[in-house]
Amino acid sequence: MNKLYWVFMTGVIAFVITYLFMTLMPVAMRIYKKRCKVPLVWGMHADPGPAFGKVLGLLPIILGVLMYFHYSNVRHVENPSDKLLPSITQMYNEVKTYVSVPDKRSGNILFFEDTKASLRRLTIGVSASAVIGYVMGILMGLYPGIRALFSTTITMLSNINPLAILVIVLVAMGIGEGSKIFLIVFGIGVTLSRSIQQAVQNIPPEMIVKQETLGATQLAIIFRVVAPQMFPRLVDLVRVSLGAAWIFVIAAEAIASTEGLGYRIYLQQRYMNMALIIPIVGFITTIAFTSDYVLRKVLCLRKFKWYTSGG
């Protein structure tokens, strides 16, 4: 195990050094040629640039991984059966079993079943939250009567921690899919409604008055003026809310479910099987990061340049 550890560490260090050298050399040449006096890292007017900025972003991750494997090796030298900081070999063996060996009772591969279940709940819950928040936010932002009717209730609901009512939701709605999806909608749908409402109210009144002067109906104002402006804001808000959505999915699956990534984490917790828990957490992080990246790319489309450029 020690031999495998040092081989891995040597490879990681060699990769980091090579990557930093290949990335920093063009940056250094650019600075030297232009005799740029703008600081790279520190200062309000610092300009790391795209290449060096990526290096800075990767440094904390690389240092964290190296520190983990260092302390994991130290603990395994003292206690080879240590479970708190599993080694690469332990995690590899657990992940290999999880993604390739069929379950004895169901005959299915648990990794794919858990991933499919969690992504289904997350997708339905976030989609429903986005639709509800989009529609309710626009209506409350435009119509004072609707705002007076729902504003107090939504403000009150937005201050309730969804995890605090998890047991109530499970008792009232059962342990089926509906309760888990409802928890996601309750957790982020209400917040999306308030945020969209505030954004609608910040639209310059002159813009709406001008449309009314030109003879536009209320529906035309909603669909041709307000809704297009709110859509990129909705995408941005959903992107920020994905972390909270994953929290609600994992919490619901841990308490009342027989499949899902959250269920698998809490099931392995009983045996303190960190060799599988850590890779699952890393996999969830990868999914969340990929989702965030895709939504950011949606906002970079030419259609939404006015939003990303601050227009």
Using one digit for the tens of pLDDT, what is the confidence trace for 270-296? 888 999 999 999 999 999 999 999 998
| The predicted structure's pLDDT at residue 11 | 66
Distance separating alpha carbons of residues 14 and 8, to the nearest angstrom? 10
Determine how many CB atoms are found less than 10 A away from the CB of residue 58: 14
Contact 295, 240 (CB under 8 A): no
Where in the chain are the domains? 2-85, 110-308
Distance separating alpha carbons of residues 205 and 160, to the nearest angstrom? 33
| The predicted structure's pLDDT at residue 174 | 84
Contact 232, 299 (CB under 8 A): yes
| The predicted structure's pLDDT at residue 137 | 95
Per-residue pLDDT band at 201 (split at 50, 70, 90): very high
Q: What is the DSSP letter of 102?
A: B
Q: What is the DSSP letter of 103?
A: P
The yes-or-no verdict on residue 144 having pLDDT over 70 is yes
- Show the tokens assigned to 109: 């591969």
| The predicted structure's pLDDT at residue 35 | 46
Burial letters for 80-108: b for 16+ Cβ neighbours within 10 Å, e otherwise? Answer: eebeebbbbebbeebbeebeeeeeeeeee
| The predicted structure's pLDDT at residue 6 | 60
Second CATH level (architecture) for the domain 110-308 = Orthogonal Bundle (1.10)
Placement of tokens 């957790």 in the chain: 187
Minimal CA–CA distance to 279: which of 86, 80, 121? 86
For range 21-27, the mean pLDDT: 61
Using one digit for the tens of pLDDT, what is the confidence trace for 158-178? 898 888 888 888 888 888 888
Average pLDDT, the chain: 85
Using one digit for the tens of pLDDT, what is the confidence trace for 86-97? 888 889 999 999
- Show the tokens assigned to 192: 């999306």
Selected residue with higher pLDDT from 288 and 307: 288
| The predicted structure's pLDDT at residue 294 | 92
Using one digit for the tens of pLDDT, what is the confidence trace for 212-236? 888 889 899 999 899 999 999 999 9
Distance separating alpha carbons of residues 169 and 187, to the nearest angstrom? 12
- Show the tokens assigned to 244: 């909270």
| The predicted structure's pLDDT at residue 10 | 67
Selected residue with higher pLDDT from 14 and 34: 14
With 0-12 / 13-18 / 19 or more C-beta atoms within 10 angstroms meaning exposed / middle / buried, residue 307 is middle
Distance separating alpha carbons of residues 58 and 22, to the nearest angstrom? 14
Longest CA span, the chain: 80
Model confidence, pTM: 0.80
- Residues 6 or more apart in contact with residue 11 via CB below 8 angstroms: none
Please give the distance of CA 92 from its chain centroid, rounded to a whole number.
Answer: 25
For range 47-68, the mean pLDDT: 79
Selected residue with higher pLDDT from 195 and 69: 195
Distance separating alpha carbons of residues 118 and 253, to the nearest angstrom? 8
Q: What region does 272 belong to: left with phi over 0, alpha with psi -120 to 50, or beta?
A: left
| The predicted structure's pLDDT at residue 255 | 83
